[in-house]
Amino acid sequence: LLGYIGIDTIIEQMRKKTMKTGFDFNIMIVGHSGLGKSTLVNTLFKSQVSRRSTGWSRDDKIPRTVEIKSVAHVIEEGGVKMKLTVIDTPGFGDQINNENCWEPISKYINEQYEKFLKEEVNIARKKRIPDTRVHCCLYFISPTGHSLRQLDLEFMKHLSRVVNIIPVIAKSDTLTPEEKNEFKQRVRKELEICGIEFYPQREFDEDIEDKSDNDKIRDAMPFAVVGSDKEYQVNGKRVLGRKTPWGVVEVENPNHCEFAQLRDFLIRSHLQDLKEVTHNIHYETYRAKRLNANGG
Ligand code: GDP
Ligand code: MG
């Protein structure tokens, strides 16, 4: 017998490597204008994502195209650096004719796959390929309390094959708790009827434990969020919130909305899985198609 092999040291090696190189995590936000997308970008960066960590710095804003903008922060915690980029896509579905309006977004996503592929096949490739691939796409649903629009369904149907789609209900402070719960249920039902798989996709549950964890999350989706970049004093603490004549809606209070749940799901519990599904499923599908098109 071999005795001590030292597999446990691999964890330490992986940790050291991640500490040295850091990692990228990219979130895209899509939806009608006025639904609070830009506000949510600020909410994410102003909320505990950055408050809990030290030494984060603001990167330059990188305008990719006239329409799609991204904001990046390097967040450091426990010696590990994460470059969190949020890609804001103004004006989705604002045209009179919205036919194929998902195309610029799917084009952007594919361009990032292409960039990564070029680096991968490059002989003298970089030790670490900068990863601009979209790891998840938050799709903002209008808080109508009615049903999804045709456009919502079309977008999610097309894009769920190329990226991890996470539907969220925007401006959920405009719904009462009952309306919110009914609406969430209806949205899930409609997505199911249309055969639209959002993240975490059932087919990628790895075992029973995975399935039961993810079932809970799927039953809680779409997360009903509230965004704000303003702070108010509540019970002697400064909180991010929206001040109304009836009180402050606290963005990070789980009794007020599901922003904190969404953030923890993205940045804590499912970050690595979002990256893995992006790499192993969505990117791999793109790569296989591209290499086949080139004659193998
Ligand atoms: P975008 O066009 O999707 O980027 O939307 P904006 O972030 O520019 O927000 C549009 C308007 O909605 C602004 O007046 C925001 O203050 C407001 N808003 C943003 N988030 C919320 C929210 O969660 N609830 C409510 N009631 N209003 C919001
Ligand atoms: Mg905006």
Gap between the Cα atoms of 206 and 76, Å rounded: 30
Give the model confidence (pLDDT) of 198-211 as tens digits.
Answer: 999 999 999 999 99
Q: How far is CA 243 from CA 42, 49, 143, 248, 281, in A?
A: 17, 22, 19, 4, 43
Which percentage of the chain shows pLDDT scores above 70? 92
CA of 76 to the centre of ligand 1 (A): 29
Q: 122 or 131: whose pLDDT is higher?
A: 131
Which percentage of the chain shows pLDDT scores above 90? 66
By DSSP bridging, strand 69-77 and strand 62-63 are antiparallel
Gap between the Cα atoms of 181 and 177, Å rounded: 6
Gap between the Cα atoms of 105 and 161, Å rounded: 13
Minimum CA distance residue for ligand 1 atom 9: 36
Which ligand is closest in space to the CA of residue 41? 1
pLDDT tier at 75, thresholds 50, 70, 90: confident
Which ligand is closest in space to the CA of residue 90? 2
Q: Does the pLDDT value for residue 194 go beyond 70? A: yes
Gap between the Cα atoms of 158 and 73, Å rounded: 30
Minimum CA distance residue for ligand 1 atom 10: 34
Instruction: Please give the sequence-ordered ranges of beta strands (E in DSSP) within the chain, or none if there are none.
Output: 23-30, 54-58, 62-63, 69-77, 80-89, 136-141, 165-169, 223-224, 231-234, 237-244, 247-250
Mutate to test the pocket of ligand 1, among 39, 244, 258 (most ligand atoms within 8 A of CB): 39
CA of 3 to the centre of ligand 2 (A): 59
Among 141, 135, 155, smallest CA distance to 282 is for: 135
For residue 153, count CB atoms less than 10 angstroms from its CB and return exposed for 0-12, middle for 13-18, buried for 19 or more.
Answer: middle
Q: Please report the atom of ligand 1 found closest to the CA of residue 227.
A: 23
Least confident of 11-15, 69-73, 138-142, 285-289: 11-15
Which ligand is closest in space to the CA of residue 142? 1
Complex confidence, ipTM: 0.99
- Name all residues whose Cβ lies below 6 A of ligand 1: 33-39, 171, 173-174, 226-227, 242
Cis preceding linkage at 167, omega within 30: no
Q: Does the pLDDT value for residue 56 go beyond 50? A: no
Q: How far is CA 275 from CA 62, 69, 173, 267, in A?
A: 22, 21, 31, 11
Q: Provide the mean pLDDT of the chain.
A: 88
Q: Does the pLDDT value for residue 123 go beyond 80? A: no
CA of 172 to the centre of ligand 1 (A): 11
CA of 37 to the centre of ligand 1 (A): 7
**Residue 113 near residue 133 (C-beta atoms within 8 A):** yes
CA angle 51, 13, 274 (to 5 degrees): 50
Structure tokens at 136: 């998840």
Q: 141 or 101: whose pLDDT is higher?
A: 141
Whole-structure pTM value: 0.90
Q: Please report the atom of ligand 1 found closest to the CA of residue 228.
A: 20
Structure tokens at 193: 């009827």
